[in-house]
């Protein structure tokens, strides 16, 4: 019997757990689900055959070692900074390792030893990163096989609300880690456009947007991710003239979010200690100049000259012009803003989310230049079985299943950019309703 260990039973794990648990029903496998919250882990496996829930803390090194020792395959759904800790223990104990997160430098440094021990470590096998790699590489390798030249590649992805649940002016709620949303775009974004390198500092990121259209859904803002340049090598398109990876939000979101960026409310580098009982209005006013004759609303309009009514409405809806009390008064500006948004952008049980992904290719062939648009639209069922959990968890679950079935015979450190990895995953996902639709012009 093969034992599969899943570390972490959080928001993005529901489909992963159900899929892996189903493969254990015939008795050939066992699932151990470990989480800091034992009650949560128990609720996720619901007593399914050949499954077991256990409490677990990453700080308990002996418990981690014991869990990994008892397993054949380890799937880490923990926060990204914890992956190297788990991966290192898997390496020592000679266990295979899977994650949906970016491959860190720490894990890359283990490559030689992973290969030496004949282990299989797979990272970036979720949504973004994950499905973006797989669906893009399918088109890239097909173009290369036809001796075509890829001139331009832009790729956008977003975790959003399904239209039926867009019940606030932002048309957004948290379907992913709130901290990551609040800190999104920080650092320098890098890409290449028509052969010219482009660097976008944080204070410009939410101004530098493109309009991305989806049939029957309308227009969205696409803003650049941190570093698109290193994916030229990952995808084997080093000579490409345009390469950009970005994030999607509903049209108008970026303009309103940029107000917080410009004022400094997303700064996470220092701590505030505000008076107990302070209001959102006072918090906002903290970042505006003192002008006795002007109201907070007037000072904000003066500080942000491009302010329009839809932007004003979004900020007003959050309560920044009223006397609502701050949920916390100590912490960085970003952490206080996050606490505010967690109240207003919380998913209700009946809410449905939506994942959007779109690749835009310009490809030169003997017959001329063509444009390929490859789009994915995926809807969630409710606030537990979300589209985010589906598109993060199912690719990873399928990869583990294929590996244990002996259909993936690789050893070493990988991300899913090889046909022997992405082809069975994409094929299986299509049967589960996760399908890219291509149009060629």
In 78-206, which residue ranges form alpha helices assigned H by DSSP? 83-93, 105-108, 111-116, 131-145, 178-182, 202-205
Distance, CA of 93 to CA of 72 (rounded, Å):
10
pLDDT score of 32: 97
pLDDT score of 226: 86
Token pair of 191 as six digits? 């890409």
Q: Is 424 helix (H, G, I), strand (E, B) or coil?
A: helix
Confidence (pTM): 0.92
DSSP 290-337: --TTS-HHHHHHHH-TT--HHHHHHHHHTTTTS-PBPS-SEE-HHHHH
pLDDT at residue 11 greater than cutoff 90: no
Domains and CATH numbers, the chain: 2-123 (3.40.50.720), 131-256+348-379 (3.30.360.10), 272-331 (no CATH)
pLDDT band at residue 316 using 50, 70 and 90 as cut-offs: very high
Do 51 and 24 contact (CB within 8 A), yes or no? yes
Cβ neighbour number for residue 94 with a 10 Å cutoff: 11
Condensed to tens digits (0 to 9), the pLDDT of residues 267-291 reads: 999 999 999 999 999 999 999 999 9
pLDDT at residue 176 greater than cutoff 90: no
3-state helix, strand, coil in the chain (%, to 5): 35, 25, 35
Question: How many residues can be counted in the chain?
Answer: 441
Condensed to tens digits (0 to 9), the pLDDT of residues 59-114 reads: 999 999 999 999 999 999 999 899 999 999 999 999 999 999 999 999 999 999 99
Cβ neighbour number for residue 187 with a 10 Å cutoff: 13
Q: Is 438 helix (H, G, I), strand (E, B) or coil?
A: strand
Distance, CA of 125 to CA of 328 (rounded, Å):
36
pLDDT score of 426: 97
Distance, CA of 220 to CA of 248 (rounded, Å):
6
Condensed to tens digits (0 to 9), the pLDDT of residues 47-57 reads: 899 999 999 99
């Amino acid at each position: 019997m093969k034992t599969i260990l899943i570390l972490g039973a959080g928001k993005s794990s529901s489909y992963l757990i159900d899929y892996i648990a189903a493969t254990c029903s015939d008795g050939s496998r066992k699932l151990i689900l470990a989480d800091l919250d034992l009650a949560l882990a128990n609720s996720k496996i619901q007593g399914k055959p050949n499954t077991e829930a256990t409490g677990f803390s990453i700080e308990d090194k002996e418990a981690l070692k014991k869990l990994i020792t008892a397993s054949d395959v380890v799937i880490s759904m923990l926060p990204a900074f914890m992956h190297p800790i788990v991966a290192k223990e898997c390496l020592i104990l000679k266990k295979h390792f899977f994650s949906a997160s970016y491959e860190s430098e720490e894990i890359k440094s283990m490559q030689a030893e992973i290969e030496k021990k004949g282990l299989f470590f797979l990272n970036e096998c979720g949504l973004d990163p994950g499905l973006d790699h797989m669906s893009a590489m399918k088109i890239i390798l097909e173009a290369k096989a036809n001796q075509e030249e890829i001139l331009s590649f832009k790729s956008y992805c977003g975790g959003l609300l399904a239209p039926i649940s867009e019940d606030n002016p932002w048309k957004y709620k948290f379907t992913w880690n709130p901290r990551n949303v609040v800190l999104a775009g920080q650092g320098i974004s890098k890409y290449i456009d028509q052969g010219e390198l482009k660097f976008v500092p944080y204070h410009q990121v939410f101004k530098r947007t493109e309009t991305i259209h989806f049939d029957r859904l309308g227009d969205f803002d696409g803003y650049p991710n941190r570093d698109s340049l290193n994916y030229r090598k990952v995808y084997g398109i080093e000579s490409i003239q345009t390469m950009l990876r970005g994030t999607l939000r509903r049209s108008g979101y970026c303009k309103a979010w940029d107000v917080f960026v410009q004022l400094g409310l997303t700064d996470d580098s220092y701590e505030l200690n505000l008076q107990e009982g302070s209001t959102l209005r006072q918090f906002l006013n903290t970042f505006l100049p003192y002008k006795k004759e002007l109201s907070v609303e007037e000072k904000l309009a003066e500080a942000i000259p491009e302010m329009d009514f839809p932007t004003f409405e979004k900020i007003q809806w959050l309560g920044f012009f009223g006397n609502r009390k701050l949920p916390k008064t100590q912490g960085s500006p970003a952490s206080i803003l996050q606490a505010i948004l967690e109240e207003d952008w919380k998913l209700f049980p009946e809410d449905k989310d939506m994942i959007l992904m779109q690749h835009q290719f310009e490809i030169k062939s003997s017959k001329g230049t063509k444009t390929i648009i490859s789009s994915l639209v995926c809807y969630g069922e409710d606030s537990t079985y979300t589209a985010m959990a589906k598109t993060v968890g199912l690719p990873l679950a399928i990869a583990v299943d294929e590996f244990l079935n002996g259909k993936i015979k690789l050893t070493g450190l990988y991300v899913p950019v090889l046909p022997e990895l992405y082809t069975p995953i994409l094929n299986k996902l299509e049967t589960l309703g996760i399908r890219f639709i291509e149009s060629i012009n």
